[in-house]
Amino acid sequence: MNETTTASPSRRTLLGWGGAGLALGAAAAGGTAAALRLGDGSQPAASAGDAVPFHGAHQAGIATPVQDRLHFAAFDVTTTDRAALVALLKEWTAAAAAMTAGREVGDGESSDYADNAELPPDDTGEALGLKPSRLTLTFGVGPGLFEKDGKDRFGLKSRRPQALIDLPAFPGDNLDPARSGGDLCVQACADDPQVAVHAIRNLARIGMGRVAIRWSQLGFGKTSSTTPDAQTPRNMMGFKDGTRNIAGTETDRLDKHVWVSEKDGPDWLAGGSYLVARRIRMHIETWDRASLKDQEDTFGRTKAEGAPQGKQREHDEPNLKAMKDNAHVRLAHPDSNNGVTILRRGYSFTDGTDGLGRLDAGLFFIAYQRDVRDGFVPLQRRLAAKDALNEYIQHVGSAVFAVPPGVRDKDDWWGRALFA
């Protein structure tokens, strides 16, 4: 396995116009504070501007310490040509490796006429001069890649993982098909929103004619942390949620709850995971009118400290019985779910207003797990049936993806084992 330290990002050095001083300073920082990826899949935090290694046993962007911003995109595959799809995945992988290292897409190397001013630039350019910003690009494949409308589209039907189920309907769902599903997905996380958006934009552009964006979602603030010593972020309701999330350093819990093992099968997915994405709209106006007591009862936590009800500190072990039966924490806690644990990596979103003067805001929920059937599905069944929060939220988008293992080295590519 090729465990590289952070390469000096050339995106900075390409900044010929303006900001030369900034570029120099950034390059110096990049040299001294290189992010290191550990062989066991756990990762120490890289500092904010750095590059997160793209290659490894697992894809980055799962156990990686959660970055500040998100751009998540789901794609429909529009080509019917398996070779064209494979070619795209190779091009995407090369572009992703470049962008996560802070380099431009294309680099002019693959172009026969790099100096030709008639040609639109390979890279769209808005990330020139920006730091790598811990950009991670995480790739997944949805059920539709294997089979759509009863058709085996790319000869992959027999390779569909049994755990890659079509999610069942849950009570209270109000899913918009235009914000749900997708044959492929890319999760772009970075500390700089422009770096995340640049990544999705360039992948979408490369994909035109073979894939088309089905929907995409921006997230402006992380709501989960995979670094336990960092402060737990608050969601749009003002509460800390996911205090007991799996940490990127908890190798045992990652192996138990997140990574697909070789014995789970299928082979091509060993070292991968399953991703569930849900766009959860919050009725924040009515929430804001709820009394503090109601709000705290709804979550089962105090608002200010985030402590479990009846306890003093956020990380105190909760006494579930001290909470109401329908409190969110009580229902979601592993102890109430036979130990079911998922890795949460959601982001707050606000997509302007909804035309009725209400903020179109909420949580773009992202969870990684070893098996959806033992993870999100039973958990959400329980929450959908009883959670006091349901009065204030509505699930309006939904998707599920199998996330292949990491790209090993520069000869490997997203989905290689699946197409082998």
Partner 1 sequence: MRALRSSAAAAVAVIAAFTAVSGCAKKSDAKDSEAVKVTATDDACEVSKTSFPAGHVTLAIENKGSKVTEVYVYAPDDRIVTERENIGPGTKADITATIKAGSYEIACKPGMKGDGIRQKITVTGGGAQKKSDPELDKAVAEYRRYVQEQADESVAAAQKFADAVTSGDLDAAKKAYASSRTGWERTEPVAESFGDIDPKVDVREDGLEKDQKWTGWHRLEKSLWQDQKITDEDKALAGQLMKDLEDWRKRVGTAELTPTGMANGAKELLDEVYRNKITGEEERYSHTDLDDFAANVEGAEKAYGLLKPVAARHDAALVQELDKQFDAVKKALDGYREGDGFKAYDTVGQDDRKKLSDVVNALSEPLSKLAAAVAK
Q: At closest approach, how far in Å is the CB of 223 from partner 1? A: 30
User: Which of 21, 32, 116, 356 touches partner 1 (CB under 8 A)?
Assistant: 116
Rounded-to-integer distance, Cα 215 and Cα 278, Å: 12
Interface stretch with partner 1, choices 34-42, 188-196, 201-209, 241-249 (CB under 8 A):
201-209
Q: Which two tokens stand for residue 55?
A: 């290659």
Q: At closest approach, how far in Å is the CB of 139 from partner 1? A: 20
Question: How many residues bind partner 1, per CB under 8 A?
Answer: 14
Residue type, 232: T
Q: At closest approach, how far in Å is the CB of 347 from partner 1? A: 25
* Site residues (CB under 8 A) for partner 1, limited to 212-251: 212
C-beta of residue 323 within 8 angstroms of C-beta of residue 384: no
User: Which of 17, 21, 113, 174 touches partner 1 (CB under 8 A)?
Assistant: 113
Give the residue with the Cβ less far from partner 1, 145 or 282: 145
Burial (0-12, 13-18, 19+ Cβ within 10 Å), 263: exposed
Q: Does 118 bind partner 1 (CB under 8 A)?
A: yes
- Quickly list DSSP for 231-291: PPPB-TTS-B--TTPPPTT-HHHHHHHTSPPTTTS-GGGTT-EEEEEEEEEE-HHHHHHS-
Nearest CA to 142 out of 93, 181, 86 is that of: 181
Residue-level length of the chain: 420
C-beta of residue 105 within 8 angstroms of C-beta of residue 206: yes
Q: Does 120 bind partner 1 (CB under 8 A)?
A: yes
User: Which of 1, 24, 38, 208 touches partner 1 (CB under 8 A)?
Assistant: 208
Interface stretch with partner 1, choices 117-125, 140-148, 384-392, 409-417 (CB under 8 A):
117-125
Q: Which two tokens stand for residue 380?
A: 């959400």
Residue type, 186: V
Interface stretch with partner 1, choices 17-25, 118-126, 342-350, 398-406 (CB under 8 A):
118-126
- Residue entry with tokens 């001083």: 21
User: Which of 205, 311, 381, 382 touches partner 1 (CB under 8 A)?
Assistant: 205
Structure letter (DSSP) for residue 367:
E
Measured between alpha carbons, how far is residue 184 from residues 124, 180, 210, 297, 402 in Å? 22, 12, 12, 39, 9
Give the residue with the Cβ less far from partner 1, 179 or 370: 179
Q: At closest approach, how far in Å is the CB of 72 from partner 1? A: 19
Interface stretch with partner 1, choices 39-47, 112-120, 229-237, 286-294 (CB under 8 A):
112-120
Instruction: Tell me the backbone φ, ψ of residue 20, rounded to 5 degrees.
Output: -65, -40
Q: At closest approach, how far in Å is the CB of 142 from partner 1? A: 17
Q: Does 149 bind partner 1 (CB under 8 A)?
A: no
Pairing mode of beta strands 393-403, 273-282: antiparallel
Q: Draw the binding track, 58-87, toward partner 1 (x: CB under 8 A; -: no contact).
A: ------------------x-x---------
Q: At closest approach, how far in Å is the CB of 354 from partner 1? A: 18
Give the residue with the Cβ less far from partner 1, 86 or 212: 212
C-beta of residue 259 within 8 angstroms of C-beta of residue 370: yes
Q: At closest approach, how far in Å is the CB of 15 from partner 1? A: 24
Give the residue with the Cβ less far from partner 1, 28 or 208: 208
Nearest CA to 383 out of 344, 336, 346 is that of: 336
Q: At closest approach, how far in Å is the CB of 115 from partner 1? A: 10
Q: At closest approach, how far in Å is the CB of 266 from partner 1? A: 31
Give the residue with the Cβ less far from partner 1, 112 or 317: 112
Cis amide bond preceding 168, omega within 30: no
Q: Which two tokens stand for residue 342?
A: 């998922």
Rounded-to-integer distance, Cα 35 and Cα 276, Å: 28
Residue type, 333: H
Q: Does 109 bind partner 1 (CB under 8 A)?
A: no
Give the residue with the Cβ less far from partner 1, 119 or 169: 119
Q: Draw the binding track, 340-379, toward partner 1 (x: CB under 8 A; -: no contact).
A: ----------------------------------------
Interface stretch with partner 1, choices 39-47, 53-61, 206-214, 323-331 (CB under 8 A):
206-214
Structure letter (DSSP) for residue 205:
H
Q: At closest approach, how far in Å is the CB of 148 from partner 1? A: 15
Three-class SS state of 91: helix
Three-class SS state of 201: helix
Binding site for partner 1 (CB under 8 A): 76, 78, 112-113, 116, 118-120, 178, 205, 208-210, 212
